[in-house]
Structure 1
């Protein structure tokens, strides 16, 4: 696959020698290449880095498939057990909450992906990645100049995430996440586990890996509302993108790490 020309790209014979921005190949003066006016860089016409670019994945894909599987299984079961009244039963009853939760999760990941699309093109994003050897997945992994961001999207409509702090002066300080008054410790532990797995997959090529719980459609105060608990950032999509863009840059090979994580965590 050849990358399409952008409005500031020009196919031309190079007047001077250069290096492909994508694959690092040396390009001699006189060879045909793409000149990228805005960045003042060049790239191969048929770059192997483009051909090898990993698929980003489909946000919410595995959750939506599980929702459809459960929904279809219930419908088939009811129609089999009640041949005459099955249609009426389905019309008058809802899917169980355990099934609806998969649909809510899929919608949350889809909404999160739309917001991550606002990131500048210096970032690479992977969606719905499977954790090998487990039944779990990682909703989103974003790689950019500010490091690697492991993002768990949560759609809790009108429920407010809050930081609860106990102890401090005479007892050890203990922080915990509360969501609409309920304990959210398992969510924090889930992100911590994902961050550990991503860091292990990178090995010696280890940039800053930040874990995020991103709440969509949640209730939040007019001022503040974002916080960190046990090393995991808790916030909402717009603020997350802002922090990712404005965080201090690191020395990081975005394309290399993107490829490495895409291989370590296949599409779910």
Structure 2
């Protein structure tokens, strides 16, 4: 790995997806016909995490030429990584992506709740930023402050009841605008210096991370999409058939079938 600057978004998580997926049995012809998902159960959470990181990376790509964004930064020897490290005129930020599709997310001063369940997003993000600050300060020889962000992807509702003193929680749609809106204070030479240190694997005391098979991941996404489409077709056909039955069958049959669908 020549430089972390060229590391693709979600590289670490994609590698985990493919590792878990390697144990999945092949689908039968009937499975494919009826749209059974090819995704292994152990790969599901990793897959959703990868989609979240890719979505946020796409938002960060629009920041502009003054900014440097490094993805999937490996840290230490235990497999940890920083989803996105953002360096620009308004400062240095770690971005911890959380994909909570369709969930209700509540943000308080000291905690984040997802569908009523407490999550350690704030604590983990603060630890991540403090660790990055120490590493970058040692590598550059100057104090580098790093601010932690948690970026929520896909939530049906994001309610901020209070703000954390340390960690900023944002939706994926607002992260780029928020970063650009902060006061500018880092000159271009400082941005370049910090980005150079951040791109060096030695800064993070990490072993080289294997590069994921992006083509295999793209193929898996396509298979999942086709399976989802087939399930929708079958579900739609079933509903149309039930509607037809209720229109032509005796009244009591239609009532029973309609009640079954509603339940």
Where on the TM-score scale, by shorter chain, does this alignment land: which range? 0.5 to 0.7
| Other-structure match for 2:142 | 205
Runs of at least 5 residues in structure 1 that lack an aligned partner in the other structure:
1-51, 80-85, 166-174
| Other-structure match for 1:262 | 199
The answer on 1:61 being equivalent to 2:11 is yes
Shift of residue 123, structure 1, vs aligned partner: 0.5
Q: What whole-Å deviation, never above 9, does each CA across 1:126-161 have from its counterpart, x for those lacking one?
A: 001101222111100000011101001111111122
Taking structure 1 as the reference length, what is the TM-score of the superposition?
0.65
| Other-structure match for 1:13 | none
Shift of residue 229, structure 1, vs aligned partner: 2.6
Which structure ranks higher in relative contact order (CA pairs < 8 Å, sequence separation ≥ 6)? Answer: 2
| Other-structure match for 1:150 | 94
Contact in 1 for aligned 2:108/2:163 (Cα 8 Å): no
Q: Which residue of 196, 206, 214 corresponds with 2:130?
A: 196
Q: Which residue of 104, 116, 122 corresponds with 2:48?
A: 104
Aligned residues: 196
**How far apart, in 1, do the equivalents of 2:4 and 2:14 lie?**
22
| Other-structure match for 2:73 | 129
Contact in 2 for aligned 1:207/1:250 (Cα 8 Å): no
**How far apart, in 1, do the equivalents of 2:23 and 2:3 lie?**
37
Q: What whole-Å deviation, never above 9, does each CA across 1:175-228 have from its counterpart, x for those lacking one?
A: 22111211012x22221221111110122523431101101111235xx64853
The answer on 1:242 being equivalent to 2:192 is no
**How far apart, in 2, do the equivalents of 1:249 and 1:214 lie?**
21
Runs of at least 5 residues in structure 2 that lack an aligned partner in the other structure:
210-263
Note the aligned Cα RMSD (angstroms). 2.7
Higher helix share: 2
**How far apart, in 1, do the equivalents of 2:37 and 2:6 lie?**
37
Higher strand share: 1
| Other-structure match for 1:220 | 157
Taking structure 2 as the reference length, what is the TM-score of the superposition?
0.66
Contact in 1 for aligned 2:99/2:152 (Cα 8 Å): yes
| Other-structure match for 1:181 | 116
| Other-structure match for 1:40 | none
